[in-house]
Amino acid sequence: MAHLRLGDTAPDFTAETTEGKINFHEWLGDSWGVLFSHPADFTPVCTTELGTVARYRNEFDKRNVKTIALSVDPLDQHKEWVKDINEVNKTTVDYPIIADEDRKVSELYDMIHPNSDENATVRSVFIIGPDKKIKLTLTYPASTGRNFDEIIRVIDSLQLTANQSLATPANWKEGERVVISPSVSDEDAKERFPGYDTIKPYLRMTDAKKK
């Protein structure tokens, strides 16, 4: 059983999906990825979640993010369920849903938590960078739908800070001020982030833009 941590390489796999057979790393290419699992098809919360991801297509595209869902139900059932998702949410699911009947991917990513449910996956979320490294993990109980605004917010933070010595404060949203990493000296900060504010010697705030 895998116990994936931040910075680990996301396990590669080949799987059948509603968009055909894919090799995960090849499918990701140079994009960021969001892999998220569902307890079962034809369930109410999942139906709202997959529809929400479809409606957020433009937001994911703007950030060079591919989305892919998973449950342990069979492919033909996925395809029937997609019809309901599209109808209920007035959208079009245009991203793959993995049919993980043999639980191969679920076990690779530790998505089945027996003390919660021996048969269904929990609501796992993995954000994966273009380097195929895991940048974020989240685990929700089956009863709680995910907040995809938060997932978008995290992606904005990850992309902003990926190649800069910056971090984002609590409740940060794109466009707001950010924190200069403690590893940057004041001298370097003056050059790299002119006009920054010192709140405390260890807390310096600045404006920033994506590179």
Catalytic residue IDs: 46
Q: Please, which residues have CB within 8 angstroms of residue 13's CB and are 6 or more apart in sequence?
A: 23, 24, 104, 105, 108
| Contact (Cβ atoms closer than 8 angstroms) between residue 82 and residue 18 | yes
Amino acid at position 207, single letter? D
- Residue 87 in contact with residue 60, Cβ under 8 Å? no
Determine the straight-line distance between the first and last CA of the chain, rounded to whole angstroms.
Answer: 38
Report in angstroms the alpha-carbon separations of 191 from 54, 91, 184, 210. 42, 47, 11, 18
